[in-house]
Amino acid sequence: GRPSGLVTTRTTCGYCGVGCALDVLTRGDELVAALPAGDGPVNRGHACVKGRFAYGFRVSEERLTRPLVRRDGRLEPAGWDEALDVVARGLREAVASGGPDAVAAISSARATNEENYLVQKFMRTVIGTNNVDNCSRLCHAPSAAGLTAAFGLPGGTDCFDDAQRADCLLVVGANPAEAHPVVGARLLQRVLRGARLVVADPRAVGLALHADVHLRPRPGTNVALFHGLAHVLLAEGLADEDFLRRRATGLPELAELLAGYPPHRVSAVTGVPEGDLVAAARLYGRAARPAVFYGLGVTEHLHGTDGVRALANLAILRGAVGGDRGYGVNPLRGQNNVQGASDMGALPDQLPGCQSVTDPVARERAARLWRAEVPARPGLRIPQMFAAARSGALRALWVIGEDVCATDPDARRVAAALEACPLVVCDELFPSETARRADVVLPVASWLEKDGTFVNFDRRFQRVRPALAPPGEARSDFAVVHAVAAALGADLGCPTPAAALDECAALAPLFAGLSHARLDREGAVCWPAPDADRPGEARLYRERFATADGLAHLSACPYLPPGEEPDDDYPLVLVTGRRWAHYNSGSMTRRGGNLRLDAVDRLDLHPVDAAGHGLRDGDPVTVESRHGTARLTVHVGEETAPGQAFCAFHFPGSGVNTLTSDRADTVTSCPEYKVTAVRLRP
Ligand code: SF4
């Protein structure tokens, strides 16, 4: 029943990790509507205000349509030939003066799987370095490390549809109602149909308002909280002893540790009332099929990996993973392809398909396929790249789709790193904070203009199809990586995105059964998908875990305090996160109708703290930390706990990430975005 002249393109939303299937309607080069697909595997006819309406950015006057090259200190329009020549010359000079490890690339969830695959192949085979990383470093790197340590693979343990059969949901450090609205709505639907709900999050928003028990731990105390819950499970006989005997290891060490986490002590550390802690543990512990969903409130901490491992302990103690007695532990990814960027090997220590660069067998397989040596030494992580740039060791940095000067912590030091680096190349849609500091800016296609695949939060490969051509001279990142390689005299092979996924499938056993043709036929396939003739594994670990011994590993990691505590000088704890209308640095969602829904970065304060500072709703306020200063607009409400403040990072002009520190998870270098001591000046 659609009007004639409209073309419908089925694609996957490029914003959050839910990965909603959308039907994009176009007429000529005009985008008419983005409609949620009724048969979308996760969204089933739903979409949120971002996927549904935030496409006006495509035709923004600020959209980059020609390459820019810095001449005499100013970025000026240039042709592709000149821009590629400058990039190639700069890369050659960097390698000549500092060796291959003087070059690094930061890829991102803005790039498709095939683009991420090509970037890491370029860095490893043409430049000869493992210095490639992606934005998961800033969000879910602790998930990959923690889930791998517990179960053997870096993805969530179950698919969303299965988890929808859970009778108790434990939602931790996440606000899916705003950050993953379609999942938030489906979880709420489950609760309205009778599932019990425990929310552990400092803020009283979204699902927390519907919880049977809402735990509000002090930011930075998650590990103590999870150990407190585990203590009750053991003390009250709610652990699955048969499962622990057959399928898990590490119980004696954990039990010894948990003896030190009785509810009264955990209550003193976390601020969670003892009775609430016990009630939450009983709900989770007595459910027939519990499931855990968690977000960045678990990972973005000084001990974020420990947080994931301590959360995994709960599912293992209950035997609620790898069988029929529950739906494991599932990270809610903030960006659609952040899982895929890592799966494709855009990581300094991993080849495609979660294969370590230190594994000689995996390296040999890649070397044979790529006809090039693969360096064995793990490369630099993103924060190490910035440090190397500031020290002069890094001579060239290629940033693909990530506004590092707006979204990375301690933004002033990031800017200093870029200024110190002789060549900064930036693939971008807009003149972002990072692009403004680059030497060469390459205009690229958005998710509405690309061909490839994304992997969403439940390990689901889905097709991304171009509904429109990129504007002006903009090209896909896929074409750009090929062009840079060609400018250096190299041929990366795999001329099309479909060929790139085929090559990845040949290299990575986890993806061996995947191809564009299969996804076009079947719509979506979860990995592991080792066989083209069998469905992907939506639920993991039915037979054995993917650890070396086939067992789930309990973790006896002690609680350690956050890197920063409030004090007399900086008495409030700032937590950063997301709002419903915008996405990350807001570069796309601010350039369209969504700006009318949410027009500034607000600082949420409890009425007691607002009154204590003489602030009222709507007042401007200066926020100061030991690292920087931001200007925000006060919002007063009881959703924020006393002594805390909350803001998003959707408007780079407000300077939120000058406030955050460069402290990071001790295992993965994921920033401690969730705990910054601040003070206010009206
Ligand atoms: Fe779906 Fe997330 Fe896109 Fe919203 S932003 S439409 S929930 S994928």
Write down the residue that tokens 């609680």 correspond to.
559
Residue located nearest, by CA, to atom 1 of ligand 1: 20
The structural domains of the chain, with segments of one domain joined by +, span: 7-59, 68-138+340-456+468-494, 141-332, 572-681
- Which residue among 52, 53, 182, 594 is best mutated to probe the pocket of ligand 1, counting the most ligand atoms within 8 A of its Cβ? 182
Asked if the 7-59 domain carries CATH number 2.40.30.170, the reply is no
Nearest CA to ligand 1 atom 6: 51
Task: Check if CATH label 2.30.30.30 holds for domain 572-681.
Answer: no
User: 298-349, pLDDT tens digit by residue?
Assistant: 999 999 999 999 999 999 999 999 998 999 999 999 888 999 999 999 999 9
pLDDT for the residue 593: 76
- Ligand 1 atom nearest the C-alpha of 22 is 6
Kindly state the average pLDDT of the residues 502-525: 97
Quote the ligand 1 centre to 14 CA distance (angstroms).
Answer: 8
Instruction: Given CATH 3.40.228.10, say whether it is the number of domain 141-332.
Output: yes
Quote the ipTM score: 0.99
| pLDDT, tens digit, 9 for 90 and up, residues 614-633 | 999 999 999 999 999 999 99
Residue type, 81: D
**Which atom of ligand 1 approaches the CA of 181 most closely?**
7
For residue 43, the CA-to-ligand 1 centroid distance in Å is: 8
Report how far ligand 1's centroid is from the alpha carbon of 580 (Å).
10
Query: What spacing in Å lies between the alpha carbon of 383 and ligand 1's midpoint?
Result: 29
Atom of ligand 1 nearest to the CA of 42: 1
Candidate from 11, 16, 110 with most ligand 1 atoms within 8 A of CB, to mutate: 16
Residues of the chain with pLDDT > 70, as a percent, come to 100
How far is ligand 1, taken at its centre, from the CA of residue 553, in Å?
Answer: 33
Mean pLDDT of 650-659: 86
Instruction: Name which residue sits closest to atom 4 of ligand 1, judged by CA.
Output: 48
- Range of weakest confidence among 233-247, 309-323, 639-653: 639-653
Assess whether pLDDT exceeds 70 at residue 1.
no
Which is nearest to 501 in space by CA: 339, 343, 334? 343
Decide yes or no: CATH 3.40.50.740 for domain 68-138+340-456+468-494: yes
Closest by alpha carbon to 109, among 384, 381, 407, 455? 455
Question: What is the residue-wise DSSP string for 365-429?
Answer: HHHHHHTS----S----HHHHHHHHHHT---EEEEES--HHHHSSSHHHHHHHHHHSSEEEEEES
Q: How far, in Å, is the centroid of ligand 1 from the Cα of 38? A: 14
Token couple for 645: 């403040």
Nearest atom in ligand 1 to 19's CA = 8
Protein residue whose Cα sits closest to atom 3 of ligand 1? 51
Q: What is the pLDDT of residues 76-111, one digit of tens each?
A: 999 999 999 999 999 999 999 999 999 999 999 999
Q: What is the pLDDT of residue 654?
A: 84
What is the 115 CA–ligand 1 centroid distance (Å)?
A: 21
Whole-structure pTM value: 0.96
Q: What is the pLDDT of residue 3?
A: 64
Q: How many CB atoms are closer than 10 A to CB 368? A: 11
Residue 514: predicted pLDDT: 98
- Amino acid code (one letter) for 382: I
Residues with CB under 6 A from ligand 1: 13, 15-16, 18-20, 43, 47-48, 50-51, 180-182
Listed in sequence order, the residues at least 6 apart from 262 whose beta carbon sits closer than 8 Å to its beta carbon are: 228, 231, 235
How distant, in Å, are the alpha carbons of 46, 151, 224, 452 from that of 524? 17, 24, 38, 13
Instruction: Report the separation in Å between the CA atom of 158 and the middle of ligand 1, taken as the mean of its atom positions.
Output: 20
pLDDT band at 164 (very low <50, low <70, confident <90, very high): confident
Contact status, residue 385 vs residue 131, Cβ threshold 8 Å: yes
Q: pLDDT category, 2, cuts 50, 70, 90?
A: low
Residue 650 predicted with pLDDT over 90: no
Q: What is the pLDDT of residues 588-602, one digit of tens each?
A: 888 877 877 887 889
